Amino acid sequence: MAGRIDARLQELAIELPTPAIPVAAYVPAVRTGNTLFLSGQVTFWNGELRCVGKLGDNFTVEQGQEAARLCALNLIAQAKAALDGDLDRVVRVVKLVGFVNSTADFTDQPKVINGASETFVQVFGDAGRHARSAVSAASLPLGVAVEVEAILEVA
């Protein structure tokens, strides 16, 4: 039987990607007590790398927001895997940290990372509201436009 969050995903017509396999020496999630730390997720969709580029150069804010949304979907997929398929165990999204691959003069990092923040609120409602950082990076792994990590409170 599908849980409340799975039903919400279906209602929103949101499909989660297959959780990405780490591209280096780390694990996708670590749980300690009631806290789930999710490693930074980039713009993979079922094994296919998407959204390679730099904000302020060849990516618009809107394209960056879509990249951030894809990162959020990957984070939710990783959380689902770490929680044995039960997203109803997410009590609260505590914090997101978003990294934006951008030019030195690009200043709309918060607008870009809104793509991830808004996705978490869509899916988890008030429990999706979180603290956040949005920072610029000179480059990101595999040349992606955005990377986002998350900290969740879980039951």
Residue range of the domain that includes 42 = 4-12+29-154
Give domain status of residue 87, yes or no: yes
Give domain status of residue 20, yes or no: no
What are phi and psi for residue 76, nearest 5 degrees? -65, -40
User: How many other CB atoms sit within 10 Å of the CB of residue 121?
Assistant: 14
Give domain status of residue 18, yes or no: no
Radius of gyration of the chain (CA): 15
Question: Digits of tens for pLDDT over the chain (155 positions)?
Answer: 469 999 999 999 999 999 999 989 999 999 999 999 999 999 999 999 999 999 999 999 999 999 999 999 999 999 999 999 999 999 999 999 999 999 999 999 999 999 999 999 999 999 999 999 999 999 999 999 999 999 999 99
Helix, strand or coil, per DSSP, at residue 100: strand
Crossing angle of the two packed helices 109-124 and 61-82, in degrees rounded to 10: 40
